[in-house]
Amino acid sequence: MLGKERALDICSSALRLSPAEQTEIVLIGEDLYLTRFATSYIHQNVGETNCQVRVRAAYGKKAGSAAATLGQYSDLAAVVRRACDIALLQPDNPQWTSLPAPTGAGGAAAGRAQAVFDEETACCPPERRAKGVAAIAGKAGAHGLEAAGSFSTGIAEIAVANSLGIEAYSAGTLADLTVVASGSKGSGYADQAASAVGELDAARAGEVAARKAVTAQDPAALDPGEYTVILEPAAVADMLSFLGYLGFGALAVQEGRSFMAGKFGTKVMAESVTIWDDGTDPLGRPIPFDFEGVPKRKVVLIDRGVATNVVHDSATAAREGKESTGHALPAPNMYGPMPLNLFMAPGDSSVEEMVASTGLGVLVTRFHYTNPVHPVRAVITGMTRDGTYLVKDGRIAGPVRNLRFTDSVVRALTQVLAIGRERKFQPGFFGGAVVPALKVAGFTFTGATEF
């Protein structure tokens, strides 16, 4: 970890080296420590320290970017020079306006927002992670199963400075745990994530994965078709992240490739669905500003089913005469702004109550290998994994073989029957999603597997 003083000093040094009219420096540092295990044994224990410097330089309507892994201060001159050279080689971009200037945008809430830094997590020794793995292996072994997965802790820091006066720094800790418990004919999954390692309960995760695996043995075949589904939070977070990627950014709307385009003020999902992005909420994994150094704002995207807003960076905001909402990704990027701290409003149900109220349906633990099919309609495809069950007459009737789904997330969210009252944080790139379980009617499974 560089720390605030050194990180901002590196940014200031890079700015002084640049001859460009405007220059932006983004420093992203990570100290990550990972313990992997399989067949209930630790097989990999690694630590890595990375520091990347990204430079964006602009001359008039020309802008160029370059990035490098920073080893020494002497590396700065080369990456700054490369960004400037690239900018000068570009044709004029009529849509380029300016790097953002410090304006106090984002309000008091953004000003108070802080990433969570937990000293115990920052200094977590490998023995602490190994102890967690031992607890997981013990739970799996008690059920005659083997456990695999990973336990990671670390620090992520970001510093942003530009020649117009922006200067920002944040550092936060993270602790993530994933478990797959396996028998000869089925597996179960559990995960936990937090900013503080003390909030994780490895034994609990091991027990959840093991119990799922026990009930997932010898799955039966189930014909593809439309079913009522009960989606646990890991699956819901996967769907929500694709909505953010495909449609909740302003550039996607401006280019006509978002399901939100032309739909603002109209109902696009069930009235029970409210979705927002908030990088300042400690229930997620907050970071107070984006990769342009602009403070993050809470943005309500779907309000009781109605398409309300999308997120902006400085470029998309300028095109519409608006202010950035603090959702820029590192430059250059072809995707535009993106929500990285998604939330879905809770309901008044539980997974058990959803099961009890279902005549025929499928309970899904999580999705795997999900990919977009039709961006404008937000159609995605993927597989169920590590615990898929048939629900019949209000109870779990038994495990079924994994199924391929192909469906529109927007369509699925128009058919929400129930929403969980409890929500869970699922990690993502510099953020994640806080989501409940969902019960959805008419979810489309297009294929079946042999396992």
- pLDDT, residue 185, reads 95
Domain that holds residue 252: 219-448
Could you tell me if 144 and 268 lie in one domain?
no
Could you tell me if 204 and 243 lie in one domain?
no
d(CA 243, CA 338) in angstroms, rounded, equals: 10
Could you tell me if 323 and 338 lie in one domain?
yes
Strands 225-231 and 360-374: parallel
Question: Among 89, 51, 402, which Cα is nearest to 219's?
Answer: 402
Radius of gyration of the chain (CA): 23
Spell out where 375-415 has E strands: 379-392, 395-399, 403-408
Q: How confident is the model at residue 450 (pLDDT cuts 50, 70, 90)?
A: confident
Give 173-191 pLDDT, tens digit per residue: 999 999 999 999 999 999 9
C-alpha distances (whole Å) from 229 to each of 182, 333, 377, 400, 424 are 24, 35, 20, 13, 19
Could you tell me if 26 and 165 lie in one domain?
yes
Say if residue 111's pLDDT is above 50.
Answer: no
Could you tell me if 57 and 178 lie in one domain?
yes
**In the chain, % of residues over pLDDT 70:** 97
Could you tell me if 255 and 177 lie in one domain?
no
Could you tell me if 237 and 177 lie in one domain?
no
d(CA 429, CA 190) in angstroms, rounded, equals: 19
Could you tell me if 247 and 336 lie in one domain?
yes
Question: Among 67, 60, 66, 65, which Cα is nearest to 91's?
Answer: 60
Task: Return all residues near 382 (Cβ < 8 A) that are at least 6 apart.
Answer: 238, 367, 368, 369, 370, 371, 404, 405
Quote the DSSP letter at residue 217.
S
Instruction: Out of 179, 213, 247, pick the residue that ends a domain.
Output: 213
Could you tell me if 204 and 223 lie in one domain?
no
Instruction: Out of 186, 213, 240, pick the residue that ends a domain.
Output: 213
φ, ψ at 124 (rounded to 5°): -60, 120
* Block residue for tokens 């994530």: 193
Could you tell me if 249 and 376 lie in one domain?
yes
Roughly how many angstroms between the first and final C-alpha of the chain, as a whole number?
44
Give the three-class secondary structure for 177: strand
Record the tokens describing residue 176, joined without a space: 């993530």
- In this structure, of 93-97, 118-122, 132-136, the range with the lowest mean pLDDT score is 93-97
Could you tell me if 145 and 14 lie in one domain?
yes
Residue 99 is part of a domain; what is its CATH number? 3.30.2290.10
Instruction: Out of 213, 248, 269, pick the residue that ends a domain.
Output: 213
Could you tell me if 278 and 199 lie in one domain?
no
Looking at residue 448, its amino acid is A
Question: Among 447, 367, 443, which Cα is nearest to 404's?
Answer: 447
Say if residue 206's pLDDT is above 80.
Answer: yes
Question: What's the domain count of the chain?
Answer: 2
